[in-house]
């Protein structure tokens, strides 16, 4: 080893200190080729992909047939800097031990392949390309007699220079085609190729100088220009979010240091750009209303508002950005400012490229909760105010991923290589153009596609096919799509994780009992939903001789099996949470732990972490104790079974007595919580009855809550609060806590204004006052329909901020507050089988009671902060996946069980449709109203009253308003190429032309089946009645004969 070069430079640190940095570059000559260690000696050839091939053809490299690749250090460094997700994917291939044989060659540290620092006259890209060519030539000289070496590059200049150096260089397309033609590779590789740098768009026009004509979009500014203008605040950086209800609109959420201070009095003129602190100093407060007309010294009027969101009004101004990208946006002149449209557009055939006026769309909608208009749109859509409007001028960071969907149903499946449109299931993503030779095979299939690029003269981005998931509308396929779209890890646990598990017949040992309390003598029970196998928690209650009450919450001791830093711990942290779909459960931990060794099943010994309180008879806490324990549950019960035991007045056994004691204390706890301001909100939850063989839903209904649900909930909340206090006291800087931020008044504005128009005033100044005003709605008589109270609570719930995990040292104690529960501190402790946050809290609590020392990893605030962010994301994606699964099975149910009449409530009004909520099934749906499906010739949208007025000369005028109920019918319509669409139509009042596609034959068959079933039941009942009559007659004969025999015996005596 020898020192090749040494460089030094001076730089200033963030604190202002000036330091000298010295970098030394060491070179070696003992770095091998990798053949025989990582690369196979009997390989037919070796490939060296350049940076662009790795970035744009990673799917090809991941295919099992591609092996024995040499990944240069130069390439690896470039990929890491340009796309970290692809870097992780290539690292996975390098670390694969099952047959990929990818080898990393440290060309930057080999004496013969190091090309030195970048020269003044060359770019960094040119320098790196030179390094790749020099290394490829070195490999050819080393292995020329044994194996062919192929440099794979799609860069024309790099290809030319490589061939001048007599390097065997090919494009990735030529290499794959040759291998396929020689039958070395399967033909499916041809569909996995990214063709964007080889096949030009058919609509692309190039002039004599090579410049594109007929551009649909503006060119993106170079990155250095973007960063310079963002720094000088001429441009603004943020994440773009497409409106799910109108794909022609989007908004960019600006970072906090780039908020806009807008002069509301000066017709929404942009007053300046400020960071958060200076904005607060200037405004004193942030308001959302500028309707006042006078200003006095007693009542000063704020004339400005801080905006952290910029509206992007049309598809052209989105400028090829994809939902989730980090973009640079330029604010348009105030004369071009606008406000969100009230039109709903769901079909990108209606994409508006030319102007600010959205078109009217009539496509089906995504009826999941995520499809609701965001609070930003709701706040301004019915307002006369104009808001900052801009256009995207560059992309800071792409958020591209693989997308699930299907080929456009109008695709012509011709033989050979075809350009076809792919339709993602996520409606925020535009259609993607791919090149495929297997269009026939892919029709009516769910497939995965990756975006490769987006030309300025193309309406759609270009991409390539990755894989086929399965048949459209097959429930297994659609569930797989849900998991992929929401980034839910659902692969099988690796062998390294399985190796961490104890044996199946594991039993607690004497070592396990060290410093544990033996609680097997207690009458401990668990109460869970029916069919629950991952039982996290159990309870006990004892009436003590002194009149006080001992209550214990016992939680599965998962950390006894999941040791910090092991493979199983790393995987659990990555998964974050167990995801519950309608038809399956995606475990955070292997089933041996979740369903067996950690599950607190009845009649078996289990390790637990227990929190035990002593209560006064009045329900006041006298003491609390924390201990590791060994328990044996006496009974595993469902909520319904526990409720029946409590309600059965004839039962006075130990189980009934303990359950009633738990119920008594839980009611006291709940009353105290409500008095403190805990919110009682509503969120519709449905359950499905499934057919055993097909797993298809046979019925769907809202989940019924019982008092026992509340009983268990109260003690879980109490345990979480107690543990939060304990770990924060012992570890004030690194405790894992959960907070629910107070309501954001801006998010509530649209709802409050709408309720006010209907005579309902909500006060959101505190959770206690909000709860009181919600409770007063029904008693005030303002709501005539009893379900409207529930509906208002659901709408309030959706305006709330999301609860999040955080590290105690990152927030002030005032910010610990949990708004929904009205408690000063809170965490998650009670579900370690299915939540990784609870595993962290168990480790903190174990250290807090001195059971073991706290590790260095847990005290690392930066690591903990990243972990909390990851867990928040996983928790959010889990919720979305669960909702999508419910939506999927609801649609499957309607496909075979159309509904002819069902009550629904209007929750939103659009100028071209209404949004209805169906209580029985717990979901919302957009009903589009067009001239083709409405019976009235004139429809007027009144924004001030949230109403639609239907008028016609020969018909009575009908007015629909928010909160009004309508009767609807629900069915599934099969369109071209067997595509299904959920249809919801208003039956009463009669405003719509009811479609002829309603499947009356299914309804008629169901009625016939029901009638036949009823007749069979009557016949069976009649037969049973006749049988009972015959049995009664026979019994009478037997009694008569018996009496006669008795009389004869008496006479003989």
Q: In this predicted structure, what is the pLDDT of residue 271?
A: 45
Beta partners for residue 267, in sequence order: none
Q: In this predicted structure, what is the pLDDT of residue 732?
A: 94
- Sorted by sequence, the CB contacts under 8 Å of residue 1029 that are 6+ apart come out as none
Helix 639-647 and helix 654-676, axial crossing angle in degrees, nearest 10:
100
Phi, psi of 387 (to 5 degrees): -125, 160
Q: In this predicted structure, what is the pLDDT of residue 436?
A: 85
CB 833 within 8 A of CB 598: yes
**Assigned token pair, 1019:** 């016949």
Mean pLDDT, each 10-residue run in order, the chain (1053 residues): 63 71 82 90 91 91 92 94 89 88 93 88 90 93 82 91 91 90 83 71 40 75 90 91 85 68 46 40 31 34 59 91 93 87 60 43 34 46 73 92 88 73 90 87 90 90 92 91 94 94 92 90 94 93 93 96 95 95 93 95 95 94 96 94 93 93 94 88 74 75 84 96 96 95 85 83 86 78 71 85 93 92 95 96 95 89 93 94 89 88 88 87 86 88 86 90 90 71 90 82 61 50 53 61 62 56
* CA–CA dist 687, 700 (Å, integer): 6
Q: In this predicted structure, what is the pLDDT of residue 523?
A: 95
Q: What number of other Cβ atoms are within 10 A of residue 115's Cβ?
A: 17
Q: What is the DSSP string of 275-287?
A: -HHHHHHHHSS--
Stated as kind and residue range, the H or E segment containing 453 is: strand 445-453
- Sorted by sequence, the CB contacts under 8 Å of residue 100 that are 6+ apart come out as 66, 67, 69, 93, 94
- Cis (ω within 30 of 0) for the bond into 279? no
Q: In this predicted structure, what is the pLDDT of residue 175?
A: 92
**Assigned token pair, 781:** 């008589």
Helix%, strand%, coil% for the chain, nearest 5: 35, 25, 40
* CA–CA dist 619, 662 (Å, integer): 11
* CA–CA dist 567, 99 (Å, integer): 22
* CA–CA dist 86, 451 (Å, integer): 13
CB 218 within 8 A of CB 319: yes
- Return the CA Rg of the chain: 34
The Cα-based distances of 480 to 77, 449, 468, 490, 888 in angstroms read 34, 15, 11, 9, 12
CA count, 13 A, side-chain hemisphere, 675: 6
Q: In this predicted structure, what is the pLDDT of residue 994?
A: 85
* CA–CA dist 686, 886 (Å, integer): 8
Q: What number of other Cβ atoms are within 10 A of residue 875's Cβ?
A: 21
* CA–CA dist 716, 829 (Å, integer): 8
* CA–CA dist 694, 475 (Å, integer): 10
963 backbone φψ class: left, alpha, beta (φ>0; ψ -120 to 50): left
Q: In this predicted structure, what is the pLDDT of residue 205?
A: 41
DSSP assignment letter at 429 = S
**Assigned token pair, 405:** 């969907």
CB 876 within 8 A of CB 870: no
CB 562 within 8 A of CB 569: yes
Q: CA end-to-end span of the chain, whole Å?
A: 125
Q: How far is CA 255 from the centre of its chain?
A: 22
CB 105 within 8 A of CB 73: yes
The domains located in the chain, with CATH, are 37-186 (3.40.50.1010), 223-288+301-397 (2.40.50.690), 400-472 (2.40.50.700), 495-734+821-879 (no CATH), 898-998 (2.40.50.140)
**Assigned token pair, 426:** 């996520």
DSSP assignment letter at 740 = B
Burial of 603 (0-12, 13-18, 19+ CB in 10 A): exposed
Q: In this predicted structure, what is the pLDDT of residue 996?
A: 76
Helix, strand or coil for residue 940? strand
Question: What b/e string do you get for 932-970 counting C-beta neighbours within 10 Å, with b at 16 or more?
Answer: ebbebeebebeeeebbbbbeeeeeeeeebbbbbbbebbb
Question: What b/e string do you get for 386-408 counting C-beta neighbours within 10 Å, with b at 16 or more?
Answer: bbbbbbbbbbbebebbebbbbbb
Q: ∠ at Cα 696 (695, 701), nearest 5°? A: 115
CB 532 within 8 A of CB 600: no
* CA–CA dist 312, 376 (Å, integer): 12
Helix 767-780 and helix 787-799, axial crossing angle in degrees, nearest 10:
160
* CA–CA dist 823, 725 (Å, integer): 11
CB 576 within 8 A of CB 874: yes
Q: What is the DSSP string of 368-382?
A: SGGGSPPHHHHHHHT
């Amino acid at each position: 080893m020898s020192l090749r070069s040494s460089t030094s430079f001076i730089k200033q640190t963030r604190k202002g200190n000036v330091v000298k940095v010295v970098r030394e570059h060491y070179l070696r000559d003992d770095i091998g080729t990798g053949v025989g260690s990582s690369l196979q000696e009997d390989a037919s050839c070796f490939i060296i992909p350049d940076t662009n091939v790795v970035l744009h053809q990673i799917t090809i490299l991941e295919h099992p047939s591609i092996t024995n690749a040499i990944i240069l250090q130069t390439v690896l460094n470039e990929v890491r800097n340009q796309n970290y997700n692809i870097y992780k994917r290539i690292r996975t291939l390098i670390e694969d031990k099952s047959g990929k044989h990818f080898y990393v060659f440290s060309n930057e540290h080999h004496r013969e392949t190091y090309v030195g620092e970048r020269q003044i006259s060359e770019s960094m890209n040119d320098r790196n390309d030179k390094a790749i060519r020099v290394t490829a030539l070195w490999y050819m000289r080393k292995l020329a007699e044994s194996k062919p070496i192929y440099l794979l590059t799609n860069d024309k200049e790099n290809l030319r220079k490589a061939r001048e150096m007599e390097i065997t260089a090919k494009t990735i397309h030529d290499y794959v085609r040759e291998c396929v033609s020689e039958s070395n590779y399967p033909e499916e590789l041809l569909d996995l190729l990214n063709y964007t740098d080889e096949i030009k768009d058919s609509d692309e026009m190039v002039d004599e100088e090579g410049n594109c004509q007929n551009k649909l979009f503006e060119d993106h500014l170079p990155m250095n220009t973007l960063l310079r203008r963002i720094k000088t605040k001429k441009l603004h950086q943020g994440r773009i979010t497409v409106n799910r209800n109108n794909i022609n609109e989007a908004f960019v959420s600006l970072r906090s240091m780039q908020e806009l201070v807008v002069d509301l009095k000066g017709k929404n003129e942009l007053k300046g750009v400020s960071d958060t602190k200076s904005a607060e100093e200037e405004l004193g407060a942030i308001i959302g209303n500028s309707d006042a007309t006078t200003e006095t010294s007693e009542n000063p009027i704020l004339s400005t508002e801080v905006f952290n969101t910029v509206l992007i009004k049309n598809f052209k101004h989105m400028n090829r950005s994809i939902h989730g990208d980090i973009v640079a946006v330029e604010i348009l002149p105030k004369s071009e400012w606008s406000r969100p449209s009230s039109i709903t557009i769901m079909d990108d055939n209606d994409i508006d490229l030319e102007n600010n006026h959205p078109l009217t769309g009539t496509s089906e909608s995504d009826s999941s909760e995520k499809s609701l208009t965001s609070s930003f749109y709701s706040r301004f859509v019915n307002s006369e105010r104009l808001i900052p409007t801009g256009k995207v001028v560059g992309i800071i960071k792409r958020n591209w991923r693989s997308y699930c969907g299907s080929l456009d149903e109008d695709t012509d499946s011709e033989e050979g290589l075809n350009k076809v449109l792919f339709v993602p299931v996520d409606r925020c993503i535009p259609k993607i153009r791919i090149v495929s030779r297997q269009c026939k095979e892919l029709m009516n299939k769910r497939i995965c596609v990756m975006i490769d690029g987006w030309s300025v003269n193309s309406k759609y981005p270009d991409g390539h096919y990755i894989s086929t998931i399965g048949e459209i509308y097959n429930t297994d396929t659609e569930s797989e799509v849900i998991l992929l779209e929401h980034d839910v890890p659902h692969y099988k646990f690796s062998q390294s994780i399985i190796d961490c598990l104890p044996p199946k017949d594991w039993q607690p040992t004497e070592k396990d009992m060290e410093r544990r309390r033996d609680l097997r003598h207690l009458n401990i029970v668990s109460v869970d939903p029916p069919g629950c196998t991952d039982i996290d928690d159990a309870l006990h209650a004892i009436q003590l001789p002194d009149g006080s009450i001992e209550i214990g919450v016992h939680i599965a001791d998962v950390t006894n099996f999941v040791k910090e830093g092991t493979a199983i711990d790393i995987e659990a942290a990555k998964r974050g949470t167990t995801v519950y779909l309608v038809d399956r459960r995606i475990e955070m931990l292997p089933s041996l732990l979740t369903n067996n060794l950690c599950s607190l099943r009845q009649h078996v010994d289990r390790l637990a972490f227990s929190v035990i309180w002593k209560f006064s008879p009045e329900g006041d806490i006298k003491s609390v104790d924390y201990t590791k324990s060994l328990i044996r549950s006496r009974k595993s019960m469902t909520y319904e079974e526990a409720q029946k035991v409590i309600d059965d007045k004839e039962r006075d056994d130990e189980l009934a007595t303990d359950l009633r004691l738990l119920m008594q204390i839980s009611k006291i706890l709940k009353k105290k919580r409500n008095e403190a301001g805990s919110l009682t909100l509503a969120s519709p939850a449905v359950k499905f009855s499934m057919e055993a063989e097909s797993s298809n839903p046979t019925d769907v209904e809202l989940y019924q809550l019982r008092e026992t649900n509340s009983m268990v909930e109260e003690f879980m909340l109490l345990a979480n609060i107690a543990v939060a206090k304990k770990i924060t006291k012992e570890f004030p800087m690194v405790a894992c806590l959960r907070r629910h931020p107070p309501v954001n008044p801006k998010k509530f504005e649209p709802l409050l204004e709408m309720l006010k128009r209907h005579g309902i005033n909500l006060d959101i100044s505190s959770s206690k006052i909000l709860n009181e005003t919600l409770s007063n709605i029904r008693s005030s008589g303002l709501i005539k329909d009893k379900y409207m109270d529930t509906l208002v609570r659901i709408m309030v719930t959706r305006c709330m901020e999301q609860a999040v995990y955080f590290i105690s040292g990152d927030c002030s104690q005032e910010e610990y507050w949990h708004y929904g529960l009205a408690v000063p501190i809170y965490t998650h402790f009670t579900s370690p089988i299915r939540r990784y946050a609870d595993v962290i809290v168990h480790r903190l609590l174990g250290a807090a009671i001195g059971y073991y020392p706290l590790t260095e990893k847990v005290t690392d605030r930066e690591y903990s902060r990243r972990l909390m962010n990851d867990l928040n994301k996983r928790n959010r994606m889990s919720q979305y996946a669960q909702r999508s699964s419910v939506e999927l099975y609801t649609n499957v149910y309607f496909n075979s069980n159309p509904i002819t009449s069902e009550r629904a409530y209007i929750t939103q009004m659009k100028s071209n449709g209404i949004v209805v909520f169906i209580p029985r099934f717990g979901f919302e749906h957009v009903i589009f109203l067009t001239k083709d499906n409405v019976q009235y010739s004139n429809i007027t949208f009144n924004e001030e009253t949230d109403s639609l007025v239907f008028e016609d000369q020969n018909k009575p005028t009908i007015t629909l308003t928010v909160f009004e109920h309508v009767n609807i019918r629900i069915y599934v319509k099969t369109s071209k190429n067997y595509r299904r669409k959920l249809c919801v139509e208003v039956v009463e009042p009669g405003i719509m032309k009811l479609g002829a596609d309603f499947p009356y034959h299914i309804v008629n068959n169901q009625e016939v089946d029901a009638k036949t079933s009823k007749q069979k039941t009557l016949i069976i009942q009649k037969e049973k009645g006749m049988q009972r009559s015959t049995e009664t007659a026979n019994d009478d004969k037997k009694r008569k004969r018996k009496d006669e025999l008795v009389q004869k015996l008496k006479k003989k005596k």
